[in-house]
């Protein structure tokens, strides 16, 4: 039997649960469908200070605080330098967001999902969407979901929210998902007990380690477990000639600073790997749908932007839906314009740095930060997730980029070598080529 509702939200992660909560609080009849059951594992444990006001607005700040490890900044480690570089969020242009959290995503995602149900959303777990119709200006959308026990439920809705992450449900249906031509990477990750952490306020900092084939993350969690992952060029993963566990540990051995921190640690579960996860879609919305977070685009996790961008997309996307359902045409047009801005501007601000994160010139600027012309403050604002125009950081960012380009010109040989290596690394046909190495 087909049931009726205002909105079907497909995907019960941070984007979908946030959207369902906001819409239910506005009085809309919302159905939230999650293909798995909470708690379920998910990578992406590091949050940004820009998340904190969103937790307050959702009413979950205390619950997130209870599960979170305080994260006051980030530390960068380079094998080509004899020092580390530490950054404090409190030193950003806007010091009002000085900290964030590292969280177990299984706990974090469940808190947001239960909050949506408490707000009035009709929330289903183990409900996988098998069929859907986006409708048009005259025909309402419909969604059919199958539960683990075989029960089939169908809804006729007025609007659909795609928050399916890398499943990119609508983008695959419309064939608008594109491999990102400017970036390509793969990752492998695992969790360790008894990793050596920093002390005091630095204990919860994310640590980024550069190495020959990419970079590592080191994320301390509140329960004593540390998340460790390697983000590498695809050519490196294509040369894997042994089981993933052995390959992952051998990769860690290439980074002495990280290996030393894990010398007395034990891996608590088998590692996992994922590849080619840089993509973007041609559009983020249509007549009766919006695509949130990773359902629209994903680049690289180096600056921990995923959850923040997902939740922000939900706040902007629900304004579109509310105006549409209320038949407020002027408000809808304005909300759609704002939604387009949020979906494109956030990834754009991070992308400039992500595309160059393994470049020696950018690495030099990170390892020797300068606050001339407010460059460091602007950089820290980006690292904190303050990227949507609320804080005046454009002057500092322009100066940072100018210094980068001037330094690249004065080191033309190194710049050309880095450009050639990057061009090789993002190719799909590099399987049989020799492995290039990063240089200092």
Does residue 439 have a pLDDT over 80? no
Does residue 339 have a pLDDT over 60? yes
Rg, C-alpha atoms of the chain? 22
Tens digit of each residue's pLDDT (9 = 90 or more) over 169-185? 999 999 999 988 888 88
Write down all domains in the chain, each with its CATH number in brackets.
2-68+103-180+279-350 (3.50.50.60), 356-425 (no CATH)
The pLDDT of residue 347: 93
Does residue 431 have a pLDDT over 70? no
Q: How much is the average pLDDT of 373-388?
A: 94
* pLDDT-above-90 percentage for the chain: 84
Residue pair 46/383 in contact (Cβ under 8 Å)? The answer is no
Does residue 429 have a pLDDT over 70? no
d(CA 177, CA 158): 24
Q: How much is the average pLDDT of 200-208?
A: 96
Residue pair 338/290 in contact (Cβ under 8 Å)? The answer is no
Tens digit of each residue's pLDDT (9 = 90 or more) over 126-181? 999 989 999 988 889 999 999 999 999 999 999 999 999 999 999 999 999 998 88
Tens digit of each residue's pLDDT (9 = 90 or more) over 398-407? 999 999 999 9
Does residue 99 have a pLDDT over 90? yes
Does residue 268 have a pLDDT over 60? yes
Does residue 22 have a pLDDT over 90? yes
Residue pair 122/31 in contact (Cβ under 8 Å)? The answer is yes
pLDDT band at 437; cut points 50, 70, 90: low
């Amino acid at each position: 039997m087909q049931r009726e509702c205002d909105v079907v939200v497909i995907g019960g992660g941070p984007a979908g649960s946030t959207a369902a909560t906001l819409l239910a609080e506005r009085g809309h009849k919302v159905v939230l469908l999650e293909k798995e059951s909470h708690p379920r594992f998910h990578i992406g444990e590091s949050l940004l200070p820009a998340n904190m006001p969103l937790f307050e607005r959702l009413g979950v700040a205390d619950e997130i605080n209870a599960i979170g490890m305080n994260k006051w900044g980030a530390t960068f480690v380079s094998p080509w330098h004899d020092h580390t570089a530490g950054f404090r969020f409190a030193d950003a242009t806007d010091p009002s967001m000085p900290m964030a959290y590292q969280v177990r995503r299984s706990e974090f995602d469940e808190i947001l999902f239960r909050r949506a149900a408490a707000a009035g959303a009709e929330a289903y777990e183990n409900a996988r969407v098998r069929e859907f119709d986006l409708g048009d200006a005259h025909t309402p959308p419909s969604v059919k979901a199958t539960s683990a026990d075989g029960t089939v439920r169908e809804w006729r809705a007025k609007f659909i929210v795609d928050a399916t992450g890398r499943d990119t449900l609508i983008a695959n249906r419309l064939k608008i998902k594109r491999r990102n031509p400017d970036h390509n990477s793969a990752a492998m990750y695992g969790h360790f007990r008894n990793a050596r952490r920093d002390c005091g306020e630095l204990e919860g900092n994310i640590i980024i380690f550069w190495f020959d084939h990419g970079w590592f993350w080191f994320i301390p969690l509140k329960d004593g477990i540390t998340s460790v992952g390697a983000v590498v060029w695809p050519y490196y993963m294509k040369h894997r000639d042994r089981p993933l566990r052995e390959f992952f540990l051998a990769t860690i051995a290439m980074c002495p600073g990280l290996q030393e921190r894990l010398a007395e640690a034990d891996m608590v579960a088998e590692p996992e790997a994922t590849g080619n996860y840089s993509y973007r879609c041609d559009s983020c919305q249509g007549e009766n749908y919006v695509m949130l977070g990773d359902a629209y685009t994903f680049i690289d996790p180096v600056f921990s932007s995923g959850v923040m961008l997902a939740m922000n997309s939900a706040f902007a996307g629900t304004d579109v839906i509310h105006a549409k359902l209320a038949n407020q045409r002027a408000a809808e047009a304005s909300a759609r314009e704002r939604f387009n801005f949020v979906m494109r501007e956030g990834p754009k601000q991070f992308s400039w740095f992500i595309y160059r994160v393994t470049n020696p010139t950018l690495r030099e600027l990170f390892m020797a930060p300068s606050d001339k012309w407010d460059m460091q403050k602007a950089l820290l604002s980006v690292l904190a997730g303050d990227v949507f125009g609320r804080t005046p950081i454009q002057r500092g960012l322009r100066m940072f980029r100018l210094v980068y380009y001037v330094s690249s010109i004065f080191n033309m040989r190194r710049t050309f070598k880095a450009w050639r290596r990057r061009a090789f690394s993002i190719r799909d046909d590099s399987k049989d080529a020799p492995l290039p190495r990063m240089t200092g």
